[in-house]
Homo-oligomer: A and B are copies of this chain.
Amino acid sequence: MMEILEEVSLFIHQNELLNPGEKVLVGVSGGADSLCLLDCLHRLGYEVFVGHLDHQLREGSSEEAEAVRRMAADLGLHAVIGREDVQAVADQGHSLEEAGRLVRYRFLIDTANEFGIKKIATGHTSDDQVETVLMHFLRGSGPSGLAGIRPMTNLTDWVGFGDGEQIKLIRPLLSLDRAQTTAYCEARGLQPAQDPSNLDETYFRNRIRHELIPILEGYNPAIRQVIRRTAEIMAGEAELIQELLAAEWDDYITEEADHSILFSRDVFLERPLGLQRAFLRAAIQHCLPDIRDLGFGVIERSIHFLSAEENDGRIPLVGGLVLHRYHKLAGIALEGEGFHFSIYPQLTGEVFVPLDTSFQVPLDGGWALEGERVSASEGLRAQLREGLEAKEAVFDIKRMGGGLKLRTILPGDRIRLLGMKGRCKVSELYVNEKVPRGAREHWPLLVDGEDIIWVVGIRSAHSHRVTPETEEVLRLSLKSPGGDGHDPKI
Expressed in whole angstroms, the Cα–Cα distance for A139 and B225 within the complex equals 10
Give bound CA distance, A219 to B229, whole Å: 23
Instruction: Chain B residues near A236: list those with CB within 8 A.
Output: 272-274, 277
Contact A272:B240 (CB < 8 A) given known A140-B229, A226-B138 = yes
A362 within 8 A of B: no
A296 at the interface (CB under 8 A from B): yes
| A272-B230 in contact given A138-B220, A219-B138, A220-B139 (Cβ < 8 Å) | no
CA gap between A275 and B219 in the complex, in Å: 30
Alpha-carbon distance between A275 and B244 when the two chains are bound, in angstroms: 11
Complexed CA–CA distance, A204 and B218 (Å): 11
A223 within 8 A of B: yes
Contact of A142 among B139, B208, B230, B296 (CB under 8 A): B230
- CA of A237 to CA of B139, assembled, Å: 19
Report yes or no: A274 in contact with B138, Cβ–Cβ below 8 A. no
The answer to whether A234 has its CB under 8 Å from any CB of chain B is: yes
CA distance A222 to B138 in the complex (A): 9
Q: Are A272's CB and B239's CB within 8 A? A: yes
Does A243 sit at the interface, judged by CB under 8 A?
yes
- Contact pattern, A 197-212, Cβ under 8 Å of B = 1, otherwise 0: 0000000100110001
- Taking a contact as CB atoms under 8 Å apart, the answer to whether B274 and A237 are in contact is yes
* A18 CB within 8 Å of chain B: no
**Which residues of A235-281 are within 8 A (CB) of B?**
236-241, 243-244, 272-275, 277
Kindly list chain B residues whose C-beta atoms are within 8 Å of the C-beta of A140. 220, 222, 225-227, 229-230
Q: In the complex, which residues of chain B have a beta carbon less than 8 angstroms from the beta carbon of A243?
A: 272
Q: Does A215 touch B at the CB level, under 8 Å?
A: yes
Contact of A239 among B215, B225, B244, B274 (CB under 8 A): B274
Q: Is A449 an interface residue (CB 8 A)?
A: no
Instruction: Assess whether A75 is interfacial by the CB under 8 Å rule.
Output: no
Contact A274 B229 (CB under 8 A): no
Cβ contact within 8 Å between B219 and A143 = no
Interface membership of A57, Cβ < 8 A: no
Which residues does chain B contribute within 8 Å of A208, judged by CB atoms?
219
Question: How many angstroms from the CA of A227 to the CA of B134 in the assembled complex?
Answer: 12
Instruction: Give 27 CB contacts A-B under 8 Å.
Output: A137-B137, A138-B226, A139-B220, A140-B222, A140-B226, A140-B227, A140-B229, A140-B230, A142-B230, A143-B143, A204-B219, A207-B219, A208-B219, A212-B219, A233-B296, A236-B273, A236-B277, A237-B241, A237-B274, A239-B272, A239-B273, A239-B274, A240-B272, A240-B273, A240-B275, A243-B272, A244-B244
Interface, chain A (partner B; CB < 8 A): 137-140, 142-143, 146, 204, 207-208, 212, 215-216, 219-220, 222-223, 225-227, 229-230, 233-234, 236-241, 243-244, 272-275, 277, 296, 300
